[in-house]
A and B are shown apart, each in its own frame.
Chain A
Amino acid sequence: MLPERTVKPQWYTDFIDDVEAGRAQYLACESCGAAELPPRNTCPECGAASLVERPLPEEGTVLTYTEVQTTIEKFAGEAPYTVVIVELADSLRLGGQLRGTDDVAIGDLLRVGVERRDEREDIVTFEPA
C-alpha cells in the first residue's frame, strides 16, 4: 500500500482552519449564480472564471445520513459513527461527522464545526444548531 501523505493540500488545511474560525468562504459564480466549495477557479456550471468568495453559511438542514459500521484504517476503532450531508444554501452541500447527539433525521437543523484530533485527521463536524 502507498504511504500516507506527509503534507496536506494547503487549500484543505485553510478550509478546515476557516471553518473552525467561522470565516470559511464558498465560491459564488457572478455569471450564473452557482455556489461551489473550494478549490475552484472556474464555474463548473457555466464555465466562467468569475467565482467570488462569499461567507459560508454555518447552519443547514440534513439531506441524508448514514451510520458507518465498517470503516477504513484512518477511522479504525471509531465505528460506528454517523456521517451527514447538510444543505447550507441552495446548491451548496457539505458532509461531516455528527457530534453532540446520536439522534438525527432528514430535515434537522445542524451547525458546522471542526474537531481537532491528536494524532488523527482533523474533521468537519455537524452538531445540533
Chain B
Amino acid sequence: MAPRIAGVSLTDFGKHPERSSRELFTEAAGGALADAGVQADDVGVVYVGNFAGDLTEDQGHFGPMMADYMGARDVAATRVENACASGGVAVRQAVEAVASGMHEVAVAGGVEMMHNVGIADITDALANAGDNEYENEVGLTFPGIYALMARRYLHEFDAEHEHLAAVTVKNRENALDNPIAQFREPVTVAEALEGRPIASPLTLYDACPITDGAAAVVVTSEEFADEHGLDAPVRVAGTGQSSDTIALQDRPELARTRAAERAADEAYEYAGVGPGDVDVAEVHDCFTIAEVLAVESLGFFERGEGYRGAAEGETTVDGSIPVNTSGGLIAKGHPVGATGAAQVAELTKQLEGRHANQVADSTVGVAHNVGGSGASAVVTVLRSA
C-alpha cells in the first residue's frame, strides 16, 4: 500500500528577489495538483518546508498561509523546518500521513526566498543551521564548515581538490538541458579550481548558489489514485530519516555523514532494495564534498572511494549510477526549504520517463537530502513498476 507520487512541479530556480514565498509556493503546488489531475478540494493535509522565512521575509507561520493561497484554506497545514532538509522531511511527513491512512491526499513541498536580502545576511541566516555557540561564534559559515569536512576528507583519503571539482563539472553539464536550472553554462575543472576562494580548500565553484524557488509534490494513497484513475506510476517504496550532532566538532569522524547512512539503511530496508538496485539518484550536493559523502552514505561507493564517482565518470548520466541528473544543488540551485521536494520531483520525472536527462530503463530512484552539516538526513526510495 505504498503512497503514490501523483504529481510534481518546480518553479524556475534562480534570482527572483521581487517575488515572494506565497507566490512561489502557490505556483509549485498548483502545478503539482494540475500535473496529478487532483483538485485542491481533495487535499487533506499540507506540509511546507521552509528554513529562513522569519529572517528573509519577516514571515513565519507558513503552513496555513501556503494552504490558503493554494486553495486549501481549511486543511491541516504545517511548516516543517530541518534546515536544508526541510523539503525532504516535508515529503516524508506527507508519506507518513498517507501511509497511516489518516489522509488520502497530501501536498508536500518547500519554498525559500534568498535573493531579497544581502549576501552577508543570507550567509548569516544559513549559519543558523549550525551550532550558534560552538560554530558561528568562532566565525564558521556554512562554506567554512563544509571546508573543514573537505580538508579532512582530502587528508584521510587518496583524493585531490580536482576530484571534488569534477562534481561541479558533471552537475553543470547535467543542468544544461534542465529548463528550471539556475546555472546552465558548462565549467571546466581548471576554471573550478581557479575560482574565488570562499573557505579553503573550497572555491565558489565548489558551492551551490543562492536560489529563490519552490517545489511541490502530490502524495496520494494507492486507493485514491486507482479510484480517480490517476496516471501515477511512481510510488514511495521507502523512507528513512535520522539525526546527528548539530555541531561538526561533536562527531567522531569529521569526513563522514552518519545520519545519512542510517537514513539510507532505513529507507532501503523499508523498500526491500539495496544500493545496487538503484538506477538514478538525486543527492544533496550543497558543496562538492557533500556529493562525495552522499554517494558513500548511499552505499554506491565504499567509504573513501566516493571521490571517484564524478572524476571517473561513474555518476554521469550514462554512468553506472547517474547522480544529480537535474544538475543538483550546485547547478540547478538550492532554495533551501524547497530542495528535498525538488529532488523527489526530478526523480519522479526520471521514473516516468519524462526527464530532460532521461536515464534509460530507470525504475528505482533515491533522493538524499541533508540539513546543516549532516545533523538531519532524509532518504526517499521511489519506484515505478
Q: Of the 9-residue stretches B65-73, B192-200, B295-303, B348-356, which lies at the interface with chain A?
A: B192-200
Assess the A76–B138 pair: CB atoms within 8 A.
no
Knowing A67-B199, A70-B199, A93-B250 are in contact, say whether A121-B55 is a contact too (CB < 8 A).
no
Interface residues of B in 31-68 (CB under 8 A from A): 54-55
**Distance, CA A92 to CA B55, complexed state (A):** 33
In the complex, what residues of A have CB within 8 A of residue B254's CB? Answer: 63-64, 85
Whether A109 sits at the interface, judged by CB under 8 Å, is no
B302-327 vs A: 1/0 string, CB under 8 Å?
A: 00000000000000000000000000
A24-44 vs B: 1/0 string, CB under 8 Å?
A: 000000000000110000001
Query: Distance in Å from the Cβ of A26 to the closest Cβ of chain B?
Result: 12
Query: Distance in Å from the Cβ of A19 to the closest Cβ of chain B?
Result: 12
Q: Which of A1, A36, A74, A83 contacts B148 (CB 8 A)?
A: A83
Assess the A67–B197 pair: CB atoms within 8 A.
yes
Query: Distance in Å from the Cβ of B123 to the closest Cβ of chain A?
Result: 5
Q: Which residue of the partner chain A has the closest CB to B151?
A: A64
Whether A61 sits at the interface, judged by CB under 8 Å, is no
Assess the B199–A69 pair: CB atoms within 8 A.
yes
Interface residues of B (CB under 8 A from A): 54-55, 117, 119-121, 123-125, 127, 133-141, 143-144, 147-149, 151-152, 155, 196-202, 245, 247-250, 252, 254
Knowing A85-B248, A93-B249 are in contact, say whether A74-B136 is a contact too (CB < 8 A).
yes
In the complex, what residues of B have CB within 8 A of residue A74's CB? Answer: 124, 136, 139
Query: Distance in Å from the Cβ of B143 to the closest Cβ of chain A?
Result: 6
Assess the A69–B123 pair: CB atoms within 8 A.
no
Assess the B151–A70 pair: CB atoms within 8 A.
no
For this complex, 11 residue pairs linking A to B, each with C-beta atoms less than 8 Å apart, are A1-B121, A2-B54, A68-B147, A68-B199, A69-B196, A69-B200, A71-B120, A83-B138, A83-B148, A94-B249, A124-B138
Assess the A1–B197 pair: CB atoms within 8 A.
no
In the complex, what residues of B have CB within 8 A of residue A22's CB? Answer: none
In the complex, what residues of A have CB within 8 A of residue B252's CB? Answer: 91
Query: Distance in Å from the Cβ of B122 to the closest Cβ of chain A?
Result: 10
Assess the B123–A75 pair: CB atoms within 8 A.
no
Query: Distance in Å from the Cβ of A70 to the closest Cβ of chain B?
Result: 5
Whether A95 sits at the interface, judged by CB under 8 Å, is yes
**Distance, CA A2 to CA B124, complexed state (A):** 11
In the complex, what residues of B have CB within 8 A of residue A63's CB? Answer: 152, 254
Interface centre among B124, B133, B143 (most CB of A within 10 A): B133
In the complex, what residues of B have CB within 8 A of residue A95's CB? Answer: 134-135, 138, 140, 247-249
In the complex, what residues of B have CB within 8 A of residue A69's CB? Answer: 196-200
Whether A128 sits at the interface, judged by CB under 8 Å, is no
A56-67 vs B: 1/0 string, CB under 8 Å?
A: 000000011111
List 7 extra interface pairs beyond A68-B199, A74-B136, A83-B140, CB under 8 A: A71-B123, A72-B124, A73-B121, A74-B139, A78-B139, A97-B139, A106-B152
